[in-house]
Every structure is written in C-alpha cells, then in structure tokens.
Amino acid sequence: MASSTTDGESATARAKLHGRAFYESIGSPKFVLAPMVDQSEFAWRMLTRSFMTPAENSKLLAYTPMFHARLFEEAPKYRSSHFEATKPDPSTSGAVVSNPASAPTNSDQIPQTVPFLDGNPMFDRPLFVQFCANDPEHLLAAAKLAAPYCDAVDLNLGCPQGIARKGHYGAFLQEDQELVFKLINNLHKNLPIPVTAKIRILETKEDTLAYAKNVLAAGASIITVHGRRREQKGHLTGVADWEYLRYLRENLPKETVIFANGNILQHGDIERCLEATGADAVMSAEGNLSDPAIFAEPPPPGQEGREYWRGKDGKGGYRVDAVFRRYMDIIHKYVLQHEPPARRPLFIVGDDETWLAEGKAQDAEQEEGPARKKRKKDGGGGGKNEKCTSPNLVAIRPHLFHLLRHFISKHTDVRDALARCHIADVPAVEKVLDMVERRIAEGLIEYERTGGKSIEEPEPEPKVRESTAPAEALKTESAEDADFDPESSVATVKKCKRPWWIAQPIIRPLPKEALANGSISLGKKEKKKQGLAAKAAAEGDVNEASEKENKGLEEELPKPDGVAGIKEPTMDSKRPTLAADELVCG
C-alpha cells in the first residue's frame, strides 16, 4: 500500500468536517456494512454494493475489517496483505512507498502509483477504516497511513474475544474511560479526517450513556452502538437490546449521529430498527454475510428475473448460485484484473436441461478430487509453494461456507468439494460454483414438479407462554407474530426460513436453548454449584433451593471467555446446522 498519491493528497486536503456536517457530506448513509474480522474486505463490499441501485448505493457506507494499529504501522507485510489501496503505475516501475517519511527526497525517484482496490474513489466510497489499539501514538501513526484512502477512521471498542482481553483492546478498554478518551481525542486533534467509534452497551442504560458521552466529548463524529454486552458472544449472543439505543437517542444531543447494530437478519429488520431506536443508520454484520443483498429493496412480484426467486407462498430471496456468480465475477474483474469467464444464463424452469446430465461426470471427478500430496505440492491454483497474501482471495472459502450454510447442510458433497479447494485456487472454486448451479437447477425442477412440496419439512411449534418481559422490550422483536416467545428462536427460524437455494440468515439458538440442546455445557464451577444446591435441597433446605430455582436459568448460565469453563463448540460434519461461534463483528 502506498501512502502518497495525488488523489490521496487531494482527499485529505479538504476541509475537515465534524459530526452531522460530516455525516451529511458523505450522503447521510442509511445502510452500513459492518467491520468484520477478515470478512468485510474489498470484494465483499463490492458484492454488497452490486445489489443496490445507484440511489441506494449513495446511502451505503462500508467499513474495512478491523486492523491492528501497531502492526499496520510497523509491518509493511501486514499492511500490504490487508489493505490494497494502490498499485504501481503500469507506465512506470519500482516498488510502492509504504511510508511517506521514508520516500526519497528527489521527487523523480518516488515510484508512481495509481488507485487499486481499497478506498478507490471510483467504486469503494464512502469507506471507514477500523483499527483496534491501546496506544494513542501507534493508533495515530496507523491512521495517518490509511487516511488518504478513506473518509474516516474508526476505533474498535466492541471486540469481546479472549484475544482482545489479552491484548487489552476492543471491549476490554471500556473500564478505562481515560484511555478511551485519549485514543479518540489524539486522532480528533491530529488526523486530517474525522474519527468515529464503535462500542457495546454496558450493564445499565445510565452507564452506557456516560460511556457514549465520553466518546463524543473526545471528538468522535459518529458513534455506533452494538446493543449487546461484552459477554454476549458465541452461543451466549442472545438478542440485542434496542431499548438501550432508544435511550441514547433520547438523552444525547439531537445532532449526535448514531448507528444501530444488532438483530438485523433480513431487509425488513432495517426499518424496524430505525423506528425502534431512532438511529440515523443501521449496521449489519452476520446478516450481510448470509445475504449480501440484505440492504437492497427486493424486486416487486413479476420482476424477479433469473437471480431472485419467489415461492408459491410469496416469500423469496436471491438465489445463492446468483450471489456466488456475482462474487466470483468481482474476484475476476477487480482482484485478478481480467474478464470473468463466459457463463450460460442462470437456469430457470423451462430452460434446456441437457447440460445437467453432462455435468454429472464432472461431479464425480470433483468429489474424488486430486491427491492431497499433489495438491500440496502444486499449491492449488496459486503456483508452486506460492503463499497467497491477497485478503480478497484468502476470504473466498470462509465467505462461501457462510453463504452456502443451508445449502451444504443438504448437499454435503458440495461442502466437501469446497473444503478441498486450496486458498486462492479460483479454478477449483469455479468448479464448486458449477456444482452449486446444477444442484439448484435440479431443486427448482423438483419444486415445480411437486407443486412446492419438495421443500416441505416438519416445523417445530413455538412454545406459547405468558412473557414476563415488559411490552417495550418486545418491540425489538417480531411483536406482530402471535407465537413470538422472547426466550425461543423458533418463531424467528420460522419467519426467516427459505428453501435451501436462497440466501438466508443463520439463526443462533438463544442461550437457554443452547444450554438445553447441548450446544454449550456448564463448566466445573457451575456443575459444582448445582451439586451443592441439590445437596442443600436433599438435606431439607427447601427454601434456599426454591429461591435459587426462582432466580431463573440466566443465573445458572456460565460466564463467557472460560471464566467458568464454558465450552462453545464450532461447526462439525455431525452438526452441520450449528451456528459458528467465531466473532465477525465487535
């Protein structure tokens, strides 16, 4: 990545705006693509933008993945493998200058560069670059390197991972409000572009308000609030509390720009969130990974085309083979810098079906795959012993496993074929795309042949009970559903359920459900506590045992991050529909 270009200099030379004036200068975005660890890279941002009309695109703001400030500043290899803002000018030669301070004083010796991917003003703006940090000077130095290629720099104060606790950054800075102020204020005073911040809610609304006021007083132009606490992650994620965001909206100055984050599973959730919270914009992370078209308005009935499918019940969504195609075309065109391969029109029922039979032999070859030793020796599609460093190529497989989660739970052969693909082995991924397209064509044909019965499956009935939650809290959920239960994910699963060929959200079980079905288990300390309670009850201390029982299961849930030995398993082949626990957004 270069740090000195004509475009960059002109970008940072503009007058620095603050707060709502800055927000309005970038188009008052309503939709925000979240910063996601290694997963909000350029190609995925472009895929998200591709589903939106020019008018909608003008309302979309995107974030880079979270970068480590000190590494970004000190390690050119880290910087170049995560942020590809420029490339050498084809008409000149020479390496890219990574630090303007190290550039030759003779301007004739400075290598010429041109905009490349990240922050390219032609197609990747507005863009915020996010950093995690705990040292104001490291953060400022890193931010200055990124400043020419973005519209603002964001400080991550929401990452709840154990590694963030160990490194003392993200959500583990929230107890050190003085340091939080210094980090933001140093950027505000010395950076040529605005600074923003992303936080999580604290235990009480009052504490969260004080936290937000500190962030804004330090100089943050925009504050993003994730409506979950630090301990809410993995199978303990639960539901984001939109009431906290409403409280902030009502108690912060009216000119404050607030982005809401949490509970965005489908397009319809965006307006619900804006109405419930009063926020200026809505940020989506996991919902976007499952459906990158989440911000786009669905086409009206009768205008679906080949990419969007609508069922006999009126429910629909973008087909995963259509999304997969768009994604690969972006990889070819922008990342690999060549034209995408010629493709047949996306199949719809009524098209010629002879190509389906022709591809079965290819499936058998793909399922068997090349020998492991040969694949390792050849280095996949990237050349012998060549390590891929492009963030856009490295992210392909993780993105596809997320996008195709519902698809591969049914078609495990496709899952296995994708797993065999080497990093950056684009030809192998193209073969997987071909498999996906043919499976979906077969599924669509069967759907029409059976009148829609081919996708029917038993649905678990939601547990209907009187809720003790206040009515205001229920407004953040599907209150219009008569069978809604705030302690069950069944109604949400039913609402979001689509055929396996449609891009759709992955619904996590709520904490009580996860504990009940074995997705998480109590640690030794919690089991010991239960044993003592049982012993006390057996000895006749009925009142004490009853009191503990009445406290509810939430009092018995183990604390996160291994404090009480909680076990949060990742997805495996025996449990293909289990939601992954890896953090994508703080």
Catalytically annotated residues: 159
Question: Are 33 and 40 in contact, with CB atoms under 8 Å apart?
Answer: yes
In single-letter form, the type of residue at position 314 comes to: G
- Containing 176, the helix (H) or strand (E) segment is none
Question: Are 526 and 564 in contact, with CB atoms under 8 Å apart?
Answer: yes
For the chain, the farthest-separated pair of C-alpha atoms sits apart, in whole angstroms, at 89
Question: Are 221 and 191 in contact, with CB atoms under 8 Å apart?
Answer: no
Rounded Cα distance between 216 and 185, Å, is 9
According to DSSP, residue 341 is labeled P
Burial class (CB in 10 A: 0-12, 13-18, 19+), 132: buried
Rounded Cα distance between 136 and 69, Å, is 10
Q: How far is CA 10 from CA 1, 102, 104, 147, 186, in A?
A: 17, 21, 21, 11, 23
Q: Which residues are within 8 A (CB) of 427 and not within 5 positions of it... i.e. 6 or more apart?
A: 381
Q: Which residue has the tokens 């911040």?
A: 197
Rounded Cα distance between 157 and 182, Å, is 13
Rounded Cα distance between 200 and 170, Å, is 10
Rounded Cα distance between 577 and 30, Å, is 32
Rounded Cα distance between 366 and 425, Å, is 14
Question: Are 353 and 445 in contact, with CB atoms under 8 Å apart?
Answer: yes
Q: Which residues are within 8 A (CB) of 189 and not within 5 positions of it... i.e. 6 or more apart?
A: 219
